[in-house]
Chain A
Amino acid sequence: MGRIGARTLGLLLGLALGASPGLAQLPAPPVVGTKTLQIGGYGALTVTRPEHPEDVEKVEVSELVAAVLAWGRLSPRASYFVELDMAKRTTETWTGRESDDRVAPVRLYGEYAFDDLARLRAGRFLTPVGHWNERHAEPLTWSPTRPLSTYRPFAKSLTGLLLAGEGTVAGRDAGYAVFWAPSLGLDRHFEEDEETEFDHALGLRVATEVRPGWTLGLGAARIRRSQPPDSTFLQPEGDDEERENEDESRGLLAADLRWAGLWAEFDVEAVWLPASEHEGAESGVFGQAAVRLGGPVWAVGRVEHYSPVDGGGLDLGYAGLTIRPSARFVVKVGRQFVRRSTSRIPDGWFLSFSSLF
């Protein structure tokens, strides 16, 4: 046993658990189809039971989501994609949605593929920061709640241009996305109710499979937020303060590491906005593990630390079960733990049903 290198043992263990090459999640996946129009979507129903002392503890439907996806091929190299989110929200949802009773165009773009290394996307697209934001649909995620780090510090969608591609580097799958969102004023129209809006953004994300099953992603951007995130969610009710509505240009750095096997998945994702002349630093990091208990039942755990611009940190945890009786239908039940619980970010139970259709 002593002669067996830890590296070899780790590789064998990884392979035995089902890790395989080729499943790395790369930025801005292409639209590929043979039809002019295809329609799909997903829906989700989330029920919560908050346990904050200021709340009346009761079970309530906190969010009902329906998203329509439409995509198609206009020529062998030209395609388009549309995602419209329709959310009815009765309370803070912890899924990153602020829109209430309105249709939000999350994606609305055309894409032209010069080749596999260069696809140009124009329109509104998911911001390629971390990997959660680009697979944010409830049926694809492991918990009913969304880590704050995956949507509070940055805009979930941008309007502009994106150049992306993928290939292999040293035999490993790798990809990149360069995005530019100029000040068109459109984001204010699209996201008037969103947590965080960008007035301008220029950035890059690269991701590569570093070992079988392991994907490492790194990102950097220069951004200016027209609507900085509201940090009053950390304050007790009634202590809300108005924030300046304009932000200054600042940097954003992101990193993520993901391992996906047949019996377990691990995710770590971090985002950091260094302090600028007038604003303090902002950061968030979470680690999540999902382990298959047997059949379609998975145990899911997550810890997160988030530090908003105004200082003061928030520690959150989540533990629950996720049941995937099929690849397209998911039931999640779990409890969120918050060290500094407020009425907007309470301890509590969450139950969600979601499905791709």
Chain B
Amino acid sequence: MVLVVLVALLSAATAPVRDGVCVVAHLPSGVEARSVDVDLVRRLFLVRQRFWPDGSVAHPVNLPANSPVRDTFSRVVLGRSVKALAPYWSDRYFHGTRPPPTVASAEAMQLFLERTPGSVGYVAGGGASSLPAPVISIFCLGPEPSR
């Protein structure tokens, strides 16, 4: 019984999102898409890692804090909701680090990614099919995770 309750709690906390989210990036020339996994993206967005594996500077970019896509990304990739990460960012603020910069909309994010080599962001699952080159979809997570 205890296990059932715990599994139910766990399931509720990590319930699949309906549309899912796709991580998209304008990768540096020295980085292959297949070398970018969830853990690397998590570390880039938590600013625990600042450089791509080839040594170039990474530029993660966020949607606004009230964006459902951002909250989905935060829960699925970073492991916590945007709100639950607030204490983490307070700690980081004390050391001179803020969350990755925010752009106003999905369109603005695509524009930022298109113009900024080394940038990485995310779109709703359905938006990964219409990305401007050289922005590519790295992997998608959602009801049916797939690269």
Assuming the contacts A33-B96, A137-B94, asked whether A12 and B7 have C-beta atoms less than 8 A apart, the reply is: yes
Tell me if A328 counts as interface (CB < 8 A to partner B). Answer: yes
User: Interface 1/0s, chain B 86-116, versus A by CB < 8 A?
Assistant: 1111111111111001000000000000000
Interface residues on A, range: 35 or more
Tell me if B46 counts as interface (CB < 8 A to partner A). Answer: yes
Query: What is the CA–CA distance of A168 and B46 in the complex, to the nearest angstrom?
Result: 14
Tell me if A276 counts as interface (CB < 8 A to partner B). Answer: no
Contact call B94/A327, Cβ cutoff below 8 A? no
Contact call B9/A34, Cβ cutoff below 8 A? no
Q: Which of B16-24, B48-56, B120-128, B130-138 binds A? A: B48-56
Contact call B90/A29, Cβ cutoff below 8 A? no
Interface residues on B, range: 35 or more
User: Interface 1/0s, chain A 49-79, versus B by CB < 8 A?
Assistant: 0000000000000000000010100001101
User: Interface 1/0s, chain A 116-152, versus B by CB < 8 A?
Assistant: 1000000000000000001101011000000000000
Tell me if A173 counts as interface (CB < 8 A to partner B). Answer: yes
Chain A residues contacting B42 (CB-CB under 8 Å) are 21-22
Assuming the contacts A1-B3, A327-B89, asked whether A79 and B51 have C-beta atoms less than 8 A apart, the reply is: no
- CB within 8 Å of A: which of B6-62? 6-7, 9-10, 13, 39, 42-43, 46-51, 55, 57
Contact call B51/A116, Cβ cutoff below 8 A? yes
User: Lowest 4 CB-CB distances: which A-B pairs, in order?
Assistant: A20-B79, A71-B96, A327-B86, A31-B96
Residues of chain A having any CB pair with chain B under 8 Å: 1, 4, 9, 12-13, 15-16, 18, 20-23, 25-26, 29-34, 38, 40, 42, 69, 71, 76-77, 79, 81, 113, 115-116, 134-135, 137, 139-140, 166-168, 171, 173, 262, 326-328, 356
